[in-house]
Structure 1
Amino acid sequence: MSGQPSTVPEFPEWPQFGDEERTGLIRALEQGQWWRIGGSEVDSFEAEFGAYHGTPHALAVTNGTHALEVALEVLGAGPGTEVIVPAFTFISSSLAAQRLGAVAVPVDVDLDTYCIDPAAVEAAITPRTKVIMPVHMAGQFADMDALDKLAADAGVALLQDAAHAHGAQWQGKRAGALGSVAAFSFQNGKLMTAGEGGAVLFPDEELRERGFLVHSCGRPRTDRDYLHSTTGSNYRMGEFTAAVLRAQLARLDDQIAVREQRWPLLASLLAEIPGVVPQGRDERGDRNPHYMAMFRVPGLDVARRREVVDTLIARGVPAFVAFRAIYRCDGFWKAGAPDESVEAIAARCPNTELIHSDCIWLHHRTLLGTEQQMHDIAAVLADILHG
C-alpha cells in the first residue's frame, strides 16, 4: 500500500534496568550472605510481591516452571491424579504436572480471550481430577467466577498459572486475593524479570509453609540437624535475583499504565485491517498488564504465518508465532499424557486448533512505544498482508 512505512522506529529495549537494579545488586553483595537462609533480599521480595498481589503468603522460587511444580505438589497432584490444563499455553503448564507423575488433561480455550473454556473444564472433570489450572493468557484473566464455582462444586483445587499476569486484576482483585494458589514467572521476557525466577502466592500460611518445605529439600527453615520432613527439591531463589526483582516490581505499575493506554489504540487499528482479529477482553478483568499483543489472522496457514512473522521482524516489529497446541508437541506424550490420540484431543479442542495455527503475538515492549508507533505497526502489518 502506498504511504506505508517501510519499517517501525526502534521500540524500547527489554529488559529495562537502571540504578535501582544496580543498587539492589550491590546491597545483596555487601550483606555477606548470598542465599535466602542468611540474607534478607528474598524475604523482602516475598513480602513486597505478596502485598502487591493481595496476600502475605508469597514464596519465591527458581523459575516459573518450578513455581507450578511446587504449587502442584502442595495441592496433592501426583501419580493417580489428573490436572486439567488449557490446550493453548506454553508447555510448562502441562509439564509441571507430568513431572510429578500426574496426567495432564488438555481442554479447549475461548476463541475470543484464548483463556481456558469453563464448559470444557466441566466436561473434563473426573473422580481423578485434583487441580484445575487456568492460564491468564497474555494478562487476560480466565473466567475466575465460573472456574471458582466449578472447583468448589467438584471439590478440587484451582491453581492460577499467572506467568503473564503480574499486576492483573479480576473485578478489582489481584491474583493473590482470589482465594486460590497462583504461580508467576520472571523469565527474561516476562513483565518483570531477573532473567529467571518464579513465585507462588498462597491463600494461607499453612499452605505457604508446606511450599517452603517442598522448595527447600523438605527442610524446615530453622533446622540444624538435617531433619528433612517431606519430599521436595532445591527450588530456592538466590539473593541477587531477588534484589533485581525488587527493583523490577517498583517500576511495574508505570509500565502497565502505558501498555493499558496503548493496547486499545493498537487493537482498534488492527481490527481495521481486513482479516485481522485482535485478542478480546473480558471486562471483568479490569486491569490487564498485556504480556503480549495478540491477534489472529483466520485462514492464515502455518507457512504463511511464518512469512508474516519473519517480515514483521525484518521491518522492526518484534513478532512471534503463537504457542503450539500442547498435544501437538512430542514432549507432551513422553509421560503423563491422557489415553487419547492427538486427533481425538484436537477434535474436542477446535478453538485451539485455530488459534495455534493462525495467531501472532508481538512482544510487550511494543506497547511501551509511542502512539505513532501503534499506527506504524498496523500500517506495516496491513502492507504485509494486503500490500
Structure 2
Amino acid sequence: MSGNRRPAPEFPAWPQYDDAEREGLIRALEQGQWWRIGGSEVDTFEEEFAAYHGAERALAVTNGTHALELALQVLGVGPGSEVIVPAFTFISSSQAAQRLGAVAVPVDVAPETYCLDVAAAAEAVTPRTRAIMPVHMAGHFADMDALDKLSADTGIPVVQDAAHAHGAQWRGKRAGALGSIAAFSFQNGKLMTAGEGGAVTFPDNASYEEAFLRHSCGRPQTDRRYFHRTSGSNFRLNEFSASVLRAQLARLDGQIATREERAALLRRLLADIPGVVPQGRDERADRVPHYMAMFRVPGIGEDRRNALVDDLVARGLPAFVVFRAVYRSDGFWETGAPDTTVDELARRNPVSEALTADGIWLHHRTLLAGERQIHDIAEILADALAAL
C-alpha cells in the first residue's frame, strides 16, 4: 500500500442526537409508565411514523427481524409455505421466514440496483409460495410496478423489507402508501435508530389488529383476564426507545436531503474511477435515503476485495464488505432451506454471487459530510485501488 497517505477525512458521527432525544427520554421517564400499555410514547410514535410513510397504521416492535416475522405471520406464512427472498440481502430477510417454519427461496437481484429481480421471482413461484419479499437495498426501491403486477397475477402478497428505506419514495409514494405491508428496522446503523427497534406499516386496520395481538402474546390491549386470542410472542417496543425514535423521525427529512445531494456527487466521482461501478438508480424511485453508498469492483475477487476494504478503513473510510449471498452462510441451511445445493443456488444467482465477491459499501454518515469529504472518498478509493 502507498507510503505517503493524505490525512483521514472527518465524517459526522453516528448515531446523531441532541436535546430532542434527551427531552424525549425524560418525558418517557417522568410519565410513570415505561411500557406501551399505559404509556403514550409508543402510541404517538406509531401515529407519526404511519402518517410520514402514508400508511393506514403502524406497529412498533422490538427490532427489524421481528418486524419481518410479524408481517409474514399476519399473512399466514408457516410450515408448508414458501417465501421468495433476494439471494443478496442481510440474512434476517430469509431467516424471518425460516423461523416461522417456512422455506426461504432465494432468487437473484438486478445488476443495477441490487434489488429483487422480478422476472426471477416470477419463475420461482410455486403453489406453496405464500409471500414475495423484495428488499429496498440501500434505500433504492425494488421495481414495485412489476411486483404489484406479479402479485395481482398470482394472488401472492408482497411484503416489503424496508429496513433501509425510511422516507424513500416510489413515484411519489412512500412504502406505507403502496398497498402492501412494509417492515422497517431501527438498529444502531439504520437511518433512524434507538439502538434496536422496528416497525411494521399496514394498509388496513384489520391486519394491524391481528399484528397487535400477535406482538403482545395474543392478548388484546384492553384484556384484564388473560384471554389470549392468538398465539404470539412479546415483540412490544418500550417507551424510552419510542421517545428517541420520535426525535429521530423529526430530523430524517433534512438528513435525506443532504444525502441525496452528496450521493449524486459521489456516484459521478466513483463512475470516473476505472474499474469501479456504483449502484444504479431506477428513476421511478424519486427519493432515495441512501442507507449505504454501494459500489462494485467487478473481477477483483473476494480476497483482494477484502484487502481493499481493510486498506480503505486504514485510510479513514467507514467501508465494509457487502452481505454474502444468504445461501453462503451456514445459518441459512439450519432450517427452512430449499431442497437444493449451494452450487445450484450459485448457478441460479450470478449477480448475487458477483456482489458477494466484489461489492463494497460506505456508511451513510459519509453522505452527511461536506463536498470536500466526498471528493476525498473518491481520491482515497482511487489511490487504494492503484496501490492494490
- How has the CA–CA distance of structure 1 residues 261 and 105 changed in structure 2, closer, same or farther, with 3 Å as cutoff? same
Indicate whether 1:364 and 2:364 are aligned: yes
Deviation larger for 348-357 or 24-33 = 348-357
**Residue in structure 2 matched with residue 89 of structure 1 by the alignment:** 89
Give me the whole-angstrom Cα distance separating, in 2, the residues matched to 1:59 and 1:41: 12
| Residue identity in the other structure for 1:132 | I
**Residue in structure 2 matched with residue 202 of structure 1 by the alignment:** 202
Q: Deviations over 1:188-210 (max 9, x none)?
A: 00000000000000000000000
**Residue in structure 2 matched with residue 323 of structure 1 by the alignment:** 323
**Residue in structure 2 matched with residue 37 of structure 1 by the alignment:** 37
Aligned positions of 1:249-264 closer than 5 A: 249-264=249-264
Give me the whole-angstrom Cα distance separating, in 2, the residues matched to 1:340 and 1:354: 20
**Residue in structure 1 matched with residue 384 of structure 2 by the alignment:** 384
- How has the CA–CA distance of structure 1 residues 165 and 68 changed in structure 2, closer, same or farther, with 3 Å as cutoff? same
Deviation at 1:56, TM superposition (A): 3.1
Deviation at 1:7, TM superposition (A): 3.5
Indicate whether 1:192 and 2:178 are aligned: no
Give me the whole-angstrom Cα distance separating, in 2, the residues matched to 1:306 and 1:343: 22
- Per the alignment, in what secondary structure is the counterpart of residue 157 of structure 1? coil
- How has the CA–CA distance of structure 1 residues 2 and 355 changed in structure 2, closer, same or farther, with 3 Å as cutoff? closer
Indicate whether 1:17 and 2:26 are aligned: no
**Residue in structure 1 matched with residue 148 of structure 2 by the alignment:** 148
Give me the whole-angstrom Cα distance separating, in 2, the residues matched to 1:353 and 1:182: 27
Indicate whether 1:164 and 2:191 are aligned: no
The answer to whether the 8 Å contact 1:86/1:133 transfers is yes
The answer to whether the 8 Å contact 1:171/1:286 transfers is yes
Q: Deviations over 1:17-74 (max 9, x none)?
A: 0000000000000000000001000000000000000013100000000000010000
The answer to whether the 8 Å contact 2:10/2:373 transfers is no
| Residue identity in the other structure for 1:249 | L
- Per the alignment, in what secondary structure is the counterpart of residue 167 of structure 1? coil
Aligned positions of 1:104-123 closer than 5 A: 104-123=104-123
Deviation larger for 151-160 or 123-132 = 151-160
Deviation at 1:255, TM superposition (A): 0.4
Deviation at 1:348, TM superposition (A): 0.7
| Residue identity in the other structure for 2:148 | D
**Residue in structure 2 matched with residue 178 of structure 1 by the alignment:** 178
**Residue in structure 1 matched with residue 224 of structure 2 by the alignment:** 224
Give me the whole-angstrom Cα distance separating, in 1, the residues matched to 2:225 and 2:215: 18
Indicate whether 1:282 and 2:271 are aligned: no
Give me the whole-angstrom Cα distance separating, in 1, the residues matched to 2:249 and 2:136: 19
Give me the whole-angstrom Cα distance separating, in 2, the residues matched to 1:321 and 1:51: 35
Give me the whole-angstrom Cα distance separating, in 1, the residues matched to 2:231 and 2:16: 37
Please list every run of 5 or more consecutive structure 2 residues that lacks an aligned counterpart in the other structure.
none
- How has the CA–CA distance of structure 1 residues 7 and 297 changed in structure 2, closer, same or farther, with 3 Å as cutoff? farther
The answer to whether the 8 Å contact 1:8/1:373 transfers is no
**Residue in structure 2 matched with residue 335 of structure 1 by the alignment:** 335
| Residue identity in the other structure for 1:206 | A
- Per the alignment, in what secondary structure is the counterpart of residue 200 of structure 2? strand
Give me the whole-angstrom Cα distance separating, in 1, the residues matched to 2:280 and 2:201: 27
- How has the CA–CA distance of structure 1 residues 302 and 2 changed in structure 2, closer, same or farther, with 3 Å as cutoff? closer
- How has the CA–CA distance of structure 1 residues 207 and 4 changed in structure 2, closer, same or farther, with 3 Å as cutoff? farther
The answer to whether the 8 Å contact 2:302/2:356 transfers is no
| Residue identity in the other structure for 2:140 | Q
Deviation at 1:302, TM superposition (A): 1.1
**Residue in structure 1 matched with residue 48 of structure 2 by the alignment:** 48
Give me the whole-angstrom Cα distance separating, in 1, the residues matched to 2:216 and 2:5: 53
| Residue identity in the other structure for 1:99 | R
| Residue identity in the other structure for 2:256 | I
What RMSD, in angstroms, separates the aligned Cα atoms of the two structures?
Answer: 1.2
Deviation at 1:3, TM superposition (A): 12
The answer to whether the 8 Å contact 2:98/2:337 transfers is yes
Give me the whole-angstrom Cα distance separating, in 1, the residues matched to 2:270 and 2:202: 38
Deviation at 1:8, TM superposition (A): 3.2
Give me the whole-angstrom Cα distance separating, in 2, the residues matched to 1:99 and 1:7: 46
- Per the alignment, in what secondary structure is the counterpart of residue 183 of structure 2? strand
Please list every run of 5 or more consecutive structure 1 residues that lacks an aligned counterpart in the other structure.
none
The answer to whether the 8 Å contact 1:58/1:208 transfers is yes
Deviation at 1:2, TM superposition (A): 10
TM-score (normalizing by structure 2): 0.98
**Residue in structure 1 matched with residue 136 of structure 2 by the alignment:** 136
**Residue in structure 2 matched with residue 63 of structure 1 by the alignment:** 63
Give me the whole-angstrom Cα distance separating, in 2, the residues matched to 1:3 and 1:49: 49
Give me the whole-angstrom Cα distance separating, in 1, the residues matched to 2:192 and 2:127: 38
Deviation at 1:5, TM superposition (A): 5.8
Give me the whole-angstrom Cα distance separating, in 2, the residues matched to 1:4 and 1:156: 57
The answer to whether the 8 Å contact 1:263/1:293 transfers is yes
Give me the whole-angstrom Cα distance separating, in 1, the residues matched to 2:188 and 2:9: 23
**Residue in structure 2 matched with residue 299 of structure 1 by the alignment:** 299
| Residue identity in the other structure for 1:62 | T
**Residue in structure 2 matched with residue 28 of structure 1 by the alignment:** 28
Give me the whole-angstrom Cα distance separating, in 2, the residues matched to 1:226 and 1:44: 26
The answer to whether the 8 Å contact 1:77/1:131 transfers is yes
The answer to whether the 8 Å contact 2:5/2:315 transfers is no
Deviation at 1:9, TM superposition (A): 1.8
